[in-house]
Structure 1
Amino acid sequence: MNVTMMKYFGFMKKNWLYITLPLLMVGCNQSGDKRSTSVDSRSFDETQAAKIWPKLQSDVKKSEKIEKRVTDLLVTMTLQQKVAQMIQPEIRDITLEDMRKYGFGSYLNGGGGFPNNNKHSTPDDWVALAEKMYQASIDDSLDGSTIPTMWGTDAVHGHNNVIGSTLFPHNIGLGAANNPQLIEKIAEITATEVMVTGIDWVFAPTVAVVRNDRWGRTYEGYSEDPEIVRTYSASIVKGLQGHANKDFLGDKRVISTIKHFIGDGGTVGGDDQGDSLASEQELFTIHAQGYVGGLIAGAQSVMASFNSWHGDKVHGHKYLLTDVLKNRMGFDGFVVGDWNGHGQIKGCVKENCAQAVNAGLDIFMVPTKAWKPLYENIITQVQQGDIPQSRIDDAVTRILRVKIRAGLFEKRSPAKRILSGNAALIGAEAHRKVARQAVRESLVLLKNKDHLLPLSANQHILVAGDAADNIGKQSGGWSITWQGTGNKNADFIGASSIYSGIEQKVNNAGGKTTLSVDGSYTIKPDVAIVVFGEEPYAEGHGDIDNLEYQRGNKKDLALLKSLKAEGIPVVAVFISGRPMWVNAELNASDAFVAAWLPGSEGKAIADVLMKAQANSIQYDFKGKLSFSWPKSPTQIVNRFDDDYLPLFPYGFGLTYNDTDTLLDNLSEKSNVAVEENKITDIFVGQAIEPWEMQLFSQEQYIEIETSSESLSGIAYRAVDKYIQEDSFRLQTTGKSNAGIKFIHGNGFNKDLSFELEQNASLTFSVKRDSDINTPVYISMNCEAIGDTQASCQASYDIQAQLAAVPLGKWQDVAISLNCFAEKGVQLSKVTVPFELRTSGAINLSINHIRLAPEQRTNEVTRSTVNCL
């Protein structure tokens, strides 16, 4: 351990009680993976709950005037009008006539949802849609209601769906900055840019306390410890909504949402939407602190989480949503669901879920056309007594209370509001100045051998790495598009790349820069800055099974080593949404900076790395780790663990005054246990989670939910091989391009890098009951990067292999994953692991689709497809 780390360990050990006494009430096993307490959807016990959950006093007090107004309005509403207030469809799934007819209480644009389905929509385009929806909602000609609707959006690091907006560092970087006053400024700026587009409501802040960095939403969390999260939650809420006693939900403020209630950062294995096994005490002590801070500050909405708690989905958890959050913690705003999250409750589908209403969900986020049957089913269930009328009235009371507090009944329509359409405020220089401060304060210096940094600008600097001049990569997920992919630098109007900032500094000082992604050069540079890191991802797509960076493809390490071998001092700038195992990259670097996901203001990094023209320090490093840094790929380590031995501890971060004694001898040996002969199942009598089965014919697709499905030109039927319905039969007529595919159930992707490393093959058992006289293709698809759709899909014709199978006999067919990789499929981002399609007439039965090494095939005979 180096001297600087020992200093931080000593400080933390000495001061932990002072730092965390208001938060940590019991000793906990905080690994996020091993729990023992069993909890069910219990009934509320005030005495028991009082031992854990506090009675909170919100800074926003109830008003008798508002309560009377809500009551008076409620008695005039029909059941249909009330239920409409509880339905939140997405802009791609409703029309103005729908809004006029039903009078939805709210609507949203999901990630990748834009006015006119155009990501380059202008602020005027956003305002125009907001105005039309508003006017349709108060038009009582069809629904008899004049209650204004409200528009919600995911503005999670600035108004990130809008071209030209200011993109702040993602939350993990802001946690490293540990500056609540700065956070409030950021939230206020976000509210301003959101109001420019006529939107009323923001789905932020995320207050997850991340306990397992394998989770793909780690970067949405401020810290692994609730210390920062509680304080930040209050700051963000005040910045978005205004203070309770000052400009609360005024003309320049938006409604905030603290999310996702509760335990999303503590699921087993870091699985997105997985199961949290935290004890109830831990649920409060660790995972609820953001709600303590945010609710006291006056947050008006809370979003329910996709995750389960001890096997019970939170969207349907009455104890947590009603007994704890509303009754015990005193929350009087509304609870909104997440993207069709109610449909994941056992016994529910997205079109029908009385349990979620009864549990305390007030607004259903229900994209796709499922909103209409859900609306109709809720009405029927109330009429039949399955949902009490009192529960509907409570939900609508909460929605109306927030709308009145937000002044939506009195405010001018979206097009006429004080900030609407003021495009000069989108990405305004004053806003970017604050963002640049956030970037500078978020950077964490992990290594600085022989005080290499800061660099003099009047020298020849090579800038290398694929993130150096890539604004999309430095911004990460939730940046214009949902996953942050498919964007070019030109899409980020007004933004700056990391390279552009370095170039400007060096040019001003009379030095020279060379931009070279692969590190090649003509004239040997004095120093190299290599900017590299994770590709953008958002929820679901970012889950990984260990923390090794670039496992199996160490191209960035090779770049660092090549430069160092040539005697060039190397500064590594690492772009990532989480701490990762980068021991080898640390060894190959003379200085190493954790830059996280800095957002649109990449040029601010040069302010810290480069000296001023007077050769003095311009800005020193301020960032400190709010996440412990792992010393192995499998280490899941959190502050105050009993066995706390990270590579860099919570709170670590060098300044230019510190002497770094980290040597270039960190272990580069991975401790990932190789599970020999591992089989990864895709279909064993049914689709294995997270995969779902779809039948398709031409452009028609249906999800396979029963034992028999059909479309024009194709029929599916569950059949038997060993046991009842452990296989399926496909019959095609040859009149269309038809087949079956297995696709990630949430539209995400799956990392199959491990299976590729094990030289596994896509293997399935097949029986033919017809001649095969036409090509039959097996395909694998992955998430496409940019516009190169073809680069992420590969197909192989297995007609010859099928024709060789004796009629009525089962046989294995295998295609090596290496075959797919060689054709451009990125096995780290697989969305469709198996697709069978043909334009001919066939009759085939399929059993046990899996990814398996050759020695694990169950059949005596096996046909291997040639890659060529």
Structure 2
Amino acid sequence: MKKLSFTPRSLVLTAFIASLSACSQQSEDKKATGQEQKTVEHQAENAQVTWPYANKNLKRDEKVEQKVAELLAGMTLEQKVAQMIQPEIGYLTLEQMRKYGFGSYLNGGNTAPYGNKTAAPQEWLKYADEMYEASVDDSVDGSRIPAIWGTDAMHGHSNVSGTTLFPHNIGLGAARNPELMQKIGDATAKEVAVTGIEWSFAPTVAVVRDDRWGRTYESYSEDPEVVASYAGEVVKGIQGEIGVDFLKGYRRIATAKHFVGDGGTLNGIDRGDTIASEDDLRDIHAAGYFTAIEAGVQSVMASFNSWKGVRLHGHKYLLTDVLKGQMGFDGFVVSDWNAHKFVDGCTLEHCAAAINAGVDILMVPEHYEAFYHNTVAQVKSGEIPMSRIDDAVSRFLRAKVRWGLFERGKPSERVLSNELSVFGAKAHRELARQAVRESLVLLKNNDQILPLNPKQNILVAGDAAHNMAKQAGGWSVSWQGTDNTNEDFPGATTIYQGLADAVKQAGGQITLSETGDYKTKPDVAVVVIGEKPYAEWFGDIQYIEYQKETKKDLKLLHKLKAQGIPVVTVFISGRPLWVNKELNASDAFVAAWLPGSEGQGVADVLLRKVSGEINYDFKGKLSFSWPKYDNQLVLNRHDENYDPLFAYGFGLRYQDDVNLAQLDISSRVKSQSDTDLGYALFYRQLAEGLNWTLGDMQDWNVIINGPAGTTAGSDNLTVQGINLAYQEDARRFVWAGDSLAIASLSYTDAKDMSELIDAQTVLEFDLRLDSAPQSAATMGLFCTANSCAAEIDLTEFLVQQKAGHWVHVSVDISCLANAKQVNAVTTPWSLKTEGKLGLAVSNLTLLKGDVEASQLSVCDN
């Protein structure tokens, strides 16, 4: 695969492809040797660095240790290995759990029981019971050790529709309230308990140093002091306090993640390389782990990133010598989603190196059966020492015994199971509403326009005002959050709804208009704007200017200001962004982060009481520095030449009579053009303005908003998000053959693509054939409403492919440089057939390449 750079719409690709290329150039033996050598070099280089012991509070219980030893002594090698493997419910069946007796399982961000995205808590509990009973069925595997279920309860029980969604961590960091964190952990544990799930993959304790990282909002702060003050409190809230109610009753198993340096990668690239010194790794990036371990956290998740070129999942020095040794962590280390495959010498189906390095539980969503058999064989061959297996299983069993798993019975028989009054409880929503109030940061309040009189005529504008998907962000009901609607959040309140309730009660007038239109001129406009939802990997950006290309929201602000309407901007975002232009166009500006399900919290602060008194003042203080210029890509407290627009800790109060002068809006960063760098149609995510669409005789334009969907009214053509290199970075299409059906990429508005195609342009993509075509299959390129610039019969090419294997495809499209159709493209790529066909595609890109080396060409004629 060629090394590419991409435009802002297609994110950063260079580091990922470079890492793949490096992996493919070495033999398995050389990889293993290099891994070992690098680890030795790290130890020698950093021999003077010490990581002080952290678990001063949690003592080993002799009864627990005796129980663990008894269980271990009665287990076969196969049963031990099964405890170490964690499949995903989208790929795991009850029969497979019964056969192998896996120690745990998880639901991914886009998976819910029985394939129902909005499954009720009762359905989650029913599924937990079924999987529990299968795990203790010893008729096949001979084991009665119960499995436990892990879930990403990131800001509340966030995968489950109808839960209380607290603000994401970046907002909580602004609240500077550790006591509140413990209460949030407690409330989350209760709501997780209702569904029968035992284990939460939270809290994230990353310390972010480059806000271009797509997981910035999962971090409490750029400063380790805030993260350290929060991590232990959240763990106490989830697991209970040592010596008081530790792992008792409704308490759940917590996970500190991702160890270590995930927030420090070069250029903020997710899963990239962190080159910090070991002192900085300890003092900055590991700060939260010390307090989490002191609080007794039972699980630590290893990080995708590398440290100085060595993947954390294969880093024995950090996982074993440091975390388990010097830091005294006696819980278990779990891997991230398929992260083992990036360790030198490993594949999706085997990874002795990660286990030997200190990973105890392997998250292997799809390939768990092969991984199980390969691991058993690697132990028998001596590649993995039996002592390492025993240590890993003992650590996992210790957590299970401490939690009382063997005495609690099946999930539905436990404390708070199916207590629906606890799920989304009023007390929890009030707590989340408080968290919203305390997380808001007032950046501008010229002429003290805020707080607003609720008796006024108020216009609420902007596409985030009545939009729970934007308000909640990623890791909310679905992984990326892009396919959510307000209906997916029953019981939640949008920012508009919170404002409307208060204004109506006060006797004022309020109008919702996303575009800022009105019949009666308002006294003031509250404009709620911000980032689209995103999560890890897909959320990485190159530029920190907000809406650098479209400036759609700035136009709305200017429209209202031009009409003499005072403007209060509420900014929804998962990170600080360069918004000087939007600040200039606003009389007041509030950083609201990603507030979650309780939008009333925003109204509580923006609006006065009916009596005219302040209702709630702003409390939030920036836990991330805010950029003054668009080239301040790395901006952190204590940096040399630190020059932010709003410094770490900034946040106005209502009594602050401070007017912000007009800001410099000149850009210091030049955009790189598509023609210079190539253009990605679908790489990790779709290019701006593109949608996946399906069509047949029933409806030729069914837009697919999420990772899966079908043609209208039937399964004639289906699409599903699958994994190539990362989670859901590919799409699998299945034609049932009922009638002609088309899968395509379509633009919302026609796009002029003429500048993207010249005499060296190729279309490249990865393809996996699943089932051969039973009739002609045709690929259309650069189509308008009436015709395509080119069509290729792929039938023979597809028949030649080996089913189940990915191949890289290059198509010579150089001769289309002057085609009229490419001036107004509505569909840059499509595939149609009348018969049965199954295939997957990923990484659809246009770039300068070797046209003569292409397997396919539209220029032969």
TM-score between the two structures when normalised by the length of structure 1: 0.79
1:533 to 523, 530, 541: 530
Q: Percent identity?
A: 53
CA offsets 1:763-811 (integer angstroms, 9 cap, x no match): 63499xxxxx999535699xxxxxxxxx9x9994513999xxxxxx977
1:203 to 201, 204, 215: 201
2:791 is aligned to 799
* d(CA) in 2 for partners of 1:766, 1:468: 39
* d(CA) in 2 for partners of 1:245, 1:200: 20
2:183 is aligned to 185
How far 1:454 moved relative to its partner? 0.2
Report the secondary structure of 2:670's partner residue.
coil
* d(CA) in 2 for partners of 1:340, 1:778: 34
Report the secondary structure of 1:185's partner residue.
helix
How far 1:275 moved relative to its partner? 1.0
2:569 aligned with 1:588: no
2:267 to 248, 266, 269: 269
2:171 aligned with 1:173: yes
Asked whether the equivalents of residues 156 and 205 of structure 1 are also in contact (C-alpha less than 8 Å), the reply is yes
How far 1:141 moved relative to its partner? 1.6
* d(CA) in 1 for partners of 2:316, 2:86: 21
* d(CA) in 2 for partners of 1:589, 1:817: 45
Asked whether the equivalents of residues 737 and 838 of structure 1 are also in contact (C-alpha less than 8 Å), the reply is no
1:106 is aligned to 104
* d(CA) in 1 for partners of 2:199, 2:520: 53
2:606 is aligned to 609
1:97 is aligned to 95
* d(CA) in 1 for partners of 2:68, 2:725: 43
* d(CA) in 2 for partners of 1:223, 1:139: 45
Asked whether the equivalents of residues 760 and 816 of structure 1 are also in contact (C-alpha less than 8 Å), the reply is no
Asked whether the equivalents of residues 162 and 489 of structure 2 are also in contact (C-alpha less than 8 Å), the reply is yes
1:747 is aligned to 728
2:473 is aligned to 476
1:429 is aligned to 426
Matches within 5 A, 1:719-730: none
How far 1:672 moved relative to its partner? 3.0
Which amino acid in structure 2 is aligned with residue 308 of structure 1? S
1:24 is aligned to none
Report the secondary structure of 1:382's partner residue.
helix
How far 1:308 moved relative to its partner? 1.1
Report the secondary structure of 2:256's partner residue.
strand
How far 1:44 moved relative to its partner? 8.3
Which amino acid in structure 2 is aligned with residue 679 of structure 1? L
CA shift in 2, pair 1:526/1:338, >3 Å: same
Asked whether the equivalents of residues 55 and 296 of structure 2 are also in contact (C-alpha less than 8 Å), the reply is no
1:330 is aligned to 328
1:140 is aligned to 138
How far 1:51 moved relative to its partner? 2.8
2:410 aligned with 1:410: no
Asked whether the equivalents of residues 789 and 819 of structure 2 are also in contact (C-alpha less than 8 Å), the reply is no
Asked whether the equivalents of residues 762 and 814 of structure 2 are also in contact (C-alpha less than 8 Å), the reply is yes
Matches within 5 A, 1:443-842: 443-635=440-632, 636-672=634-670, 674=672, 678-680=676-678, 745-748=726-729, 759-761=755-757, 764-765=761-762, 776-778=778-780, 796-799=788-791, 812-814=814-816
2:276 is aligned to 278
Which amino acid in structure 1 is aligned with residue 383 of structure 2? D
Asked whether the equivalents of residues 632 and 671 of structure 1 are also in contact (C-alpha less than 8 Å), the reply is no
Ranges in structure 2 where 5+ consecutive residues have no aligned partner? 1-35, 687-693, 696-716, 732-746, 765-774, 795-810, 836-842
2:388 aligned with 1:396: no
Superposition misfits of 4+ residues, deviation over 6 angstroms: 687-691, 741-744, 755-758, 815-822, 833-840, 856-859, 863-866
How far 1:455 moved relative to its partner? 0.3
Report the secondary structure of 1:335's partner residue.
strand
Report the secondary structure of 1:62's partner residue.
coil
1:255 is aligned to 253
Report the secondary structure of 2:290's partner residue.
helix
Which amino acid in structure 1 is aligned with residue 506 of structure 2? A
Which amino acid in structure 1 is aligned with residue 631 of structure 2? T
How far 1:835 moved relative to its partner? 7.2
CA offsets 1:597-623 (integer angstroms, 9 cap, x no match): 000001110000000011010000000
CA offsets 1:793-850 (integer angstroms, 9 cap, x no match): 9994513999xxxxxx97724579998996668xxxxxxx97777789xxxxxxx996
CA shift in 2, pair 1:44/1:634, >3 Å: closer
Asked whether the equivalents of residues 453 and 609 of structure 1 are also in contact (C-alpha less than 8 Å), the reply is yes
How far 1:549 moved relative to its partner? 0.7
* d(CA) in 2 for partners of 1:849, 1:124: 41
2:240 is aligned to 242
CA shift in 2, pair 1:63/1:535, >3 Å: same
* d(CA) in 1 for partners of 2:109, 2:792: 43
CA offsets 1:224-257 (integer angstroms, 9 cap, x no match): 1101001110011000000111100001100000
* d(CA) in 1 for partners of 2:356, 2:626: 42
Asked whether the equivalents of residues 761 and 817 of structure 1 are also in contact (C-alpha less than 8 Å), the reply is no
2:229 is aligned to 231
* d(CA) in 2 for partners of 1:737, 1:427: 34
Asked whether the equivalents of residues 765 and 813 of structure 1 are also in contact (C-alpha less than 8 Å), the reply is no
CA offsets 1:241-286 (integer angstroms, 9 cap, x no match): 0011110000110000000011110111101111111111111111
2:21 is aligned to none
How far 1:674 moved relative to its partner? 4.2
Asked whether the equivalents of residues 776 and 797 of structure 1 are also in contact (C-alpha less than 8 Å), the reply is no
Which amino acid in structure 2 is aligned with residue 747 of structure 1? E
Asked whether the equivalents of residues 759 and 816 of structure 1 are also in contact (C-alpha less than 8 Å), the reply is no
Q: CA RMSD in A?
A: 3.7
How far 1:135 moved relative to its partner? 1.5
1:727 is aligned to none
TM-score between the two structures when normalised by the length of structure 2: 0.80
Which amino acid in structure 2 is aligned with residue 252 of structure 1? Y
How far 1:858 moved relative to its partner? 8.3
How far 1:551 moved relative to its partner? 1.4
CA shift in 2, pair 1:294/1:479, >3 Å: same
